[in-house]
């Protein structure tokens, strides 16, 4: 069953939960929903990839299940594992009372199964949004596991049999492009490149997320952030940091941004000392 009737509805419902999207995002999400395909969001950190999945869950009224990827993530943490401590207690309790074959059948049941995000999404009777965050951090072997799940939407558990998805979740994968993902994984997804928003859209995001801010001030904030991102920085400010800066300026009673305001509050936007030094040096330099 489709969640959205059109790309315009995607935009409207995401806007209702204060996540503003442009036409490419709305169209990609709509098509992914209708085609039952995952969305692979790729782009620099802090452009709203993770927030897209969270906002889709809110807009659709679905539960969000998140698999946070990291180096060393394995099947036990992504899919399922057995509750070994609980199994051991059961074995000890039944010691001498029953034969081993009976005990083995008793401990490999649903009562002892720990469902991790992928299995939880497959087994959910309610509609869910599955967020596979920072998929570029996992090894190739784990990526192959994800590929199998996204292709078949079923899991084989040797002790219990095959678990088939009750209903296919809406899947969002995010990547900061720290490594190249396999062509097989990309082929099964709709690709969506996300970049930092243009000044007008970032100003609109600030107005939507920061109550009481004036439109002109929101635009000034967006323009200053845009100029800072243009510098050669280790980590440019994210949209979330733009929002933190806007809220901080309001708390400080700032109504107009000047060089002094930027200098005093720059650490809200930049998180590396070398970036702070470069920004202060470059922003203080008179225009050519």
- Summarize pLDDT for 124-180 with one digit per residue, the tens: 999 999 999 999 999 888 888 888 888 888 888 877 888 888 889 999 999 998 888
| Domain presence at residue 288 | no
| Domain presence at residue 1 | no
Residues 11, 147 within the same domain: yes
- Complete DSSP assignment for 63-128: EEEEEE--TT--HHHHTEEE-HHHHHHHHHHTTTTS-HHHHHHHHSSGGGEEE-HHHHHHH-SS-E
| Domain presence at residue 48 | yes
Query: To the nearest whole percent, how much of the chain has pLDDT over 90?
Result: 67
Residues 247, 270 within the same domain: yes
Last residue of a domain, one of 90, 115, 140: 115
Last residue of a domain, one of 135, 167, 193: 193
| Domain presence at residue 268 | yes
Last residue of a domain, one of 162, 193, 224: 193
Q: Between these two residues, 40 and 142, which has the higher pLDDT value?
A: 40
Residues 125, 250 within the same domain: no
Residues 96, 144 within the same domain: no
Residues 24, 158 within the same domain: yes
| Domain presence at residue 2 | no
Query: What is the domain range of residue 89?
Result: 80-115
Residues 138, 184 within the same domain: yes
Binning pLDDT at 50, 70 and 90, where does residue 102 land? low
| Domain presence at residue 46 | yes
Residues 216, 247 within the same domain: yes
| Domain presence at residue 216 | yes
- Is the pLDDT at 101 greater than 70, yes or no? no
Question: What pLDDT was estimated at residue 104?
Answer: 59
Question: What pLDDT was estimated at residue 98?
Answer: 57
Nearest to 143 by CA among 191, 193, 73, 192: 73
| Domain presence at residue 56 | yes
Question: What pLDDT was estimated at residue 178?
Answer: 87
Question: What pLDDT was estimated at residue 217?
Answer: 96
Binning pLDDT at 50, 70 and 90, where does residue 15 land? very high
């Amino acid at each position: 069953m489709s969640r959205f009737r059109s790309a315009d509805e995607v935009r409207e419902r995401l806007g209702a939960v204060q996540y503003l999207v442009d036409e490419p995002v709305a169209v990609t999400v709509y098509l992914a929903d209708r085609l039952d395909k995952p969305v692979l969001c790729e782009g620099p950190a802090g452009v709203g990839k993770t927030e897209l999945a969270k906002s889709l869950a809110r807009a659709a009224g679905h539960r969000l299940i998140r698999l946070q990827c990291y180096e060393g993530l394995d099947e036990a943490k992504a899919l399922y594992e057995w509750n070994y401590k609980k199994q051991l207690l059961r074995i000890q309790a039944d010691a001498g009372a029953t034969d081993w074959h009976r005990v083995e059948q008793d401990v490999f049941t649903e009562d002892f199964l720990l469902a991790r995000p992928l299995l939880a999404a497959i087994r959910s009777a309610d509609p869910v949004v599955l967020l596979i965050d920072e998929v570029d951090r996992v090894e190739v072997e784990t990526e192959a596991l994800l590929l199998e799940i996204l292709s078949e939407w079923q899991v084989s558990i040797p002790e219990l049999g095959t678990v088939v998805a009750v209903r296919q979740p809406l899947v969002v994968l995010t990547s900061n492009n720290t490594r190249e993902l396999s062509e097989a994984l990309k082929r099964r997804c709709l690709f969506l490149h996300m970049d930092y928003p243009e000044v007008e859209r970032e100003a609109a995001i600030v107005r939507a997320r920061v109550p009481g801010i004036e439109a002109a001030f929101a635009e000034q904030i967006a323009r200053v952030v845009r100029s800072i991102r243009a510098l050669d920085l280790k980590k440019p400010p994210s949209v979330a940091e733009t929002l933190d800066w806007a809220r901080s300026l309001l708390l400080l009673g700032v109504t107009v941004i000047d060089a002094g305001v930027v200098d005093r509050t720059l650490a809200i936007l930049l998180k590396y000392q070398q970036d702070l030094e470069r920004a202060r040096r470059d922003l203080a330099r008179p225009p050519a």
